[in-house]
Amino acid sequence: MILKKFEDPDRIETFEKGRFEVITVGPMTLGRATYKPGWRWSTHIGARDGRKWCTTEHIGIVIAGTAAVSYPDGTVEEMCAGDAFHISGEHDSWVIGDEDYISIHLAGAAKYAT
């Protein structure tokens, strides 16, 4: 049996207003995203490389808080605690409200925020 904890991750990506902890358990790489109010992907991650849109495919579960996801066509969707999500294609995302947003990523964690 393999046991790992996000409190002792294999890798941590930190950036203004957020962090992404990565663990590998057997054949799966999982991630835990924690974003503070005011965090936005295009500002706090994409801007480092001049990217406006995230292209990583995500499958995960929201643990706490609320976030929005927008697409180049103008569509905006919200996800909140208890939601399972699949995000594909170009997108941006940001925290809504004054609560930390926390999600577990079941797919996409290996290359996210690198």
Residues 30-67: tens digit of each pLDDT: 999 999 999 999 999 888 888 899 999 999 999 999 99
Q: CA nearest 106: which of 4, 7, 22? A: 22
What type of residue sits at position 39? W
Pick the CATH number of 11-107 from 2.60.34.10, 2.60.120.10, 3.40.50.720, 3.90.930.60: 2.60.120.10
- Domain parsing of the chain, residue ranges: 11-107
Q: What is the pTM of this model?
A: 0.91
List, for residues 59-95, the tens digit of each pLDDT value: 999 999 999 999 999 999 999 999 999 999 999 999 9
The conformation of residue 111, written as its DSSP 8-state character, comes to T
Sign of torsion over alpha carbons 51, 49, 41, 83: positive
Helix (H, G, I), strand (E, B) or coil at 42: helix
